[in-house]
């Protein structure tokens, strides 16, 4: 079946591996190559590999649709070479115009900028997107969802449940299922006073409310002891970042030397951003360059020998740049650095996991195939970048799984940026709140 971009929007497909950028918009450009991001470089997360192990043909089907929509000549699949069974499963399913590009086991190989360099040898300029070098990057679960367009809209989510849990695994649950329910599917926490990270250990955030619903962008739930390094570091507030950084940064520049974006030739130099703690600095190389930080946290959790938080300083400076409207246009760009530096200074995942205290946890997450039926789901109207969806159901309406319940609002005669939302279970609408729709199972 041939599909068009509007079919993808109506099926509710957004980037499942990041901020939820609507996939139909991403697939509206023209590119010569589609890159499948199967790097899954966040420690302990395994859902993408499990999807490939479970149904590589489906992923290839979604990828083929993306290739057709952007008019590409080929598709390249970036998978870590060490997962030989996943590489083999993918290779068996590939047509001639697709190939696997084996990746080294390094962090952050799943950063789109790094992935495009590792798979295609192309360097994206600071502030640009992969399309600027002829590439579109797509996450594994997004490809799975694109393959389902025409049959099933996005109603389920795959989530890695990892860390201090009885049965580390990948679960498939209806959207709107709570984090607490997903955790129970993996046997629950095995430690007293657990702390929870949603997303990855490196880039995710701490949450204390497990009643939160799983959305189209929830990738993982990691359970850790409350005194764990990652939990402690994610608990730092700006005062601590500033106070410790101001007192202890010796300007050794190791954070910059190992920064993946700096090594791609971008004007981000975290050691210079640290100087802004001591001075009201606004010089471009010191502060404006922070707008090109990916916030991968490599500098803060791994590179800095003093245990400081350059990523936090970058984050604060980015907010300041945004507020002062000081965006750096035409910044310097040294793409030759990629071949000179990045090729030789990658951070191995094994060393990273030792450094951040994750090497003692089970590093597997097999897919649990038993389907889960929650009694109730809460579906936020904004699960994507863009405008929140507008409800088209009312309290008391009977709905079926897969039925549209909220759609993109129309602005200036066309649908706003976003993707439609569907009931994830059969049931009755219990509430239509300004930010979410609640459905109770029949």
410 binds ligand SF4 (CB under 6 A): no
The correct pick among 77, 164, 259, 367 for binding ligand SF4 (CB under 6 A) is 259
**CB of 202: closest distance to ligand SF4 in angstroms?**
9
352 binds ligand SF4 (CB under 6 A): no
Contact 140, 45 (CB under 8 A): no
Q: Which stretch binds ligand SF4 (CB under 6 A): 73-81, 179-187, 258-266, 320-328?
A: 258-266
298 binds ligand SF4 (CB under 6 A): yes
State the Cα angle at 436 between 434 and 437, rounded to 5°.
110
**CB of 107: closest distance to ligand SF4 in angstroms?**
10
Work out the burial of residue 370: count CB atoms within 10 Å of its CB; fewer than 13 is exposed, 13-18 middle, 19 or more buried: exposed
Between CA 94 and CA 106 the distance in angstroms is: 25
265 binds ligand SF4 (CB under 6 A): no
Phi, psi (rounded to 5 degrees) for 139: -80, 155
* DSSP assignment of 359-395: TTS----PBP-S----SEEEEES--SSSSPPEE---T
Report CA dihedral (201, 202, 205, 210) to the nearest 10 degrees: -10
334 binds ligand SF4 (CB under 6 A): no
114 binds ligand SF4 (CB under 6 A): no
Largest pairwise CA distance in the chain: 63
The correct pick among 98, 293, 379, 381 for binding ligand SF4 (CB under 6 A) is 293
274 binds ligand SF4 (CB under 6 A): yes
Say how many residues touch ligand SF4, by CB under 6 A: 28
249 binds ligand SF4 (CB under 6 A): yes
226 binds ligand SF4 (CB under 6 A): no
Cβ-based nearer residue to ligand SF4, 111 or 141: 111
The residue whose two tokens read 């990916």 is: 294
The correct pick among 23, 170, 314, 316 for binding ligand SF4 (CB under 6 A) is 314
Between CA 406 and CA 421 the distance in angstroms is: 5
Binding footprint of ligand SF4 on the chain (CB under 6 A)? 249-255, 259-261, 268, 270-271, 274, 293-299, 303-304, 306, 308, 310-311, 314
């Amino acid at each position: 079946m041939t599909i068009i971009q509007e079919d993808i929007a109506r099926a509710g497909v957004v980037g499942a591996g990041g901020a939820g950028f609507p996939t139909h918009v991403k697939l509206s450009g023209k590119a010569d190559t589609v890159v499948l991001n199967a790097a899954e470089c966040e420690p302990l997360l395994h859902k993408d590999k499990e999807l490939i192990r479970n149904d590589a043909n489906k992923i290839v089907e979604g990828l083929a649709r993306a290739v057709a929509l952007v008019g590409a000549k080929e598709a390249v699949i970036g998978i870590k070479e060490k997962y030989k069974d996943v590489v083999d499963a993918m290779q068996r399913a590939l047509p001639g115009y697709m190939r696997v590009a084996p990746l080294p086991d390094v962090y952050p190989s799943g950063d789109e900028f790094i992935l495009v360099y590792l798979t295609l040898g192309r360097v994206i300029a600071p502030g640009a997107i992969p399309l600027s070098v002829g590439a579109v990057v797509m996450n594994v679960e997004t490809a799975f969802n694109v393959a389902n367009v025409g049959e099933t809209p996005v109603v389920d989510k795959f989530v890695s449940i990892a860390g201090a849990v009885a049965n580390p695994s990948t679960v498939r649950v209806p959207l709107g299922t709570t984090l607490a329910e997903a955790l129970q599917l993996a046997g629950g926490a095995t430690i007293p006073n657990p702390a929870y990270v949603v997303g990855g250990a490196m880039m995710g955030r701490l949450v204390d409310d497990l009643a939160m619903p799983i959305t189209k962008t929830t990738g993982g739930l990691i359970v850790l002891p409350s005194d764990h390094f990652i939990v402690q570091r994610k608990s730092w507030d700006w005062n601590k970042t500033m106070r410790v950084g101001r007192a202890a940064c010796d300007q050794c520049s190791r954070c910059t030397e190992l920064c993946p974006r700096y090594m791609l030739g971008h004007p981000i130099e975290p050691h210079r951003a640290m100087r802004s703690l001591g001075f009201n600095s606004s010089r471009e190389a010191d502060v404006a360059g922070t707008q090109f930080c990916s916030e991968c946290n490599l500098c803060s959790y791994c590179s800095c020998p003093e245990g400081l938080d350059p990523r936090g300083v970058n984050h604060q400076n980015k907010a300041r740049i945004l507020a002062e409207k000081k965006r750096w246009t035409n910044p310097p760009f040294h793409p030759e650095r990629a071949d000179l530096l990045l090729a030789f200074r990658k951070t191995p995942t094994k060393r990273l996991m030792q450094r951040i205290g994750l090497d003692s946890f089970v590093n597997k997450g097999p897919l649990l195939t038993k389907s889960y039926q929650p009694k109730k789901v809460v579906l936020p109207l904004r699960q994507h970048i863009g405008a929140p969806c507008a409800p088209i159901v009312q309290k008391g309406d009977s709905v079926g799984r897969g039925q549209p319940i909220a759609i993109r609002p129309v602005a200036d005669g066309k649908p706003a940026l976003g993707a439609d939302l569907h009931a994830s279970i059969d049931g009755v609408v219990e509430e239509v709140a300004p930010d979410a729709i609640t459905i109770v199972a029949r």
